[in-house]
A = this chain, B = another copy of it.
C-alpha cells in the first residue's frame, strides 16, 4: 500500500484545529499550517487536498468536543432543562478557562466566513440552522414532557437561546471570567424560563 505517512494525521488535524481556532481560517496559510504541522506543503496537499478540506475536518473535530454537543447526544428520556442549564455552565467554563480567550471556533468561523467564503460560508450557515433546529426540537420535547407550559413559543425561544449561546461565546473573548459570564447566562436563562438546577448526579 505504498509508503506510509511519516506524521500522525490525527494529531495534525488537532494542531490545525488549534491553529485555526486561534488565528482564524484565512490567517492560516498552507505554508504556516504545514510548518506548524512539521510537514512540507507537498505533504499537506497530498494528505488534505486543500485548506478548506482540512478546515472542515478540524471543525468536525471541534464540534465533537464543544458543549453544544451535549444537546445532540440526547438521552431521549431525561429532563431537558437541567441539561440545558448544564450546557450553559460548561460553555461559560470553557470560555473562561481558555488562557487565550479564543472564544468558540464555530462562532468565530461563522463570523469570519459566512457571506464571504464561497464554499465554507454556506456549510457553516447550514450547520447553524441545524443547531437552531436541534434546540427547537429539544424545547418541543420539554413542552411535551411538561417541563415548559404548553403555550410556549418554541420557535422564538429557540432563537433566543441560540442568540444567547452565540452572544456568550463571543463575549467570552472579551470578558473571560466564568462568574461574570455565568451571571449573565443564568440571568437570561431564568428570564426565558429555562433555568433548572441540575439534578445531583447520584452521589
Taking Cβ atoms with an 8 Å cutoff, the residues of A that contact B are: 22-24, 26-27, 100-103, 107-108, 110-112, 114-116, 125, 128-129, 132, 153, 155-157, 159-160, 162-168, 170-171, 173-175, 180-181, 183-188, 190-193
Contacts and interface: CB of A to CB of B under 8 A. Distances in A.
Prevailing SS type, chain A contact patch? helix
Number of copies: 2
5 contacts: A111-B112, A153-B183, A163-B168, A188-B188, A188-B192
B125 A174 contact: yes
Given A163-B163, A166-B166, A167-B170, 12 more contacts: A101-B115, A107-B111, A110-B173, A153-B183, A155-B180, A155-B183, A159-B181, A159-B187, A163-B171, A166-B170, A190-B191, A191-B192
